[in-house]
Amino acid sequence: MLDRLSEIVPDYPSEGISFKDLTPVFADAQGLRRIVDAIIEPFLGTFDVIAGLEARGFVLAAAAAYATGTGMITVRKAGKLPRPVHRDEYTLEYGTGVLEIHRDDVAPGTRVLILDDVLATGGTVGSALRLLELAGAKVTGVGVVLELEALHGRENLAGHKVHSLQLV
């Protein structure tokens, strides 16, 4: 299903990057339901809230939060959140970035599941982990649809339970 619906876009957003576009999976009724069900399955009962990483992680996290009766936190790129934030700078496969969460997004001790579409170098998820831990949350798992194995992102997330639906 993932192979049939996902698109590979060569040299996007810059030369040499093979971009894995999951928007056709999100647009497919069965595709969306199956990836959301599968991504949360190993973590059921271990989280109080789900953090989605901007922007494609929002799709997964909102659907998964609704399905599990939990809430959702938006981990956003710099300058998008209106109230005081925790801020973290990170490197990713193509460039650098800054992620932010509202300082009062999670109460200390809250168990958080992080969801995103693609794990590449692990820089983005690593940044989200630091932010959530700074806020006093306990990250109990990381779920992604695709894992770019050659980039060893999982190694940057040592000590955390990482579940991907497919290695590419």
Give contact residues for ligand AMP (rule: CB under 6 A): 17-20, 53, 56, 92-93, 116-124, 148, 153
Task: Determine whether 111 is exposed, middle or buried from the number of CB atoms within 10 Å of its CB (0-12, 13-18, 19+).
Answer: middle
Could you tell me the sign of the dihedral formed by the alpha carbons of 46, 50, 6, 4, in that order? Answer: positive
Q: Is there a catalytic annotation at residue 93?
A: yes
Name which of 40 and 53 has its Cβ closer to ligand AMP. 53
Q: In what order do the strands lie in the sheet with 71-77?
A: 85-92, 95-102, 71-77, 49-53, 111-119, 138-147, 162-167
Name which of 56 and 76 has its Cβ closer to ligand AMP. 56
Q: Catalytic one among 7, 33, 54, 56? A: 56
**Which tokens in the block code for residue 54?**
């901007």
Using DSSP's 3-state secondary structure scheme, residue 65 falls into helix
Q: Catalytic one among 76, 93, 147, 154? A: 93
Residue 108: CB minimum distance to ligand AMP, A: 26
Rg over CA atoms, the chain: 15
> Closest by alpha carbon to 51, among 38, 39, 65?
65
Name which of 21 and 28 has its Cβ closer to ligand AMP. 21
Q: Is there a catalytic annotation at residue 54?
A: no
Residue 95: CB minimum distance to ligand AMP, A: 10
Q: Which positions are catalytic? A: 56, 93
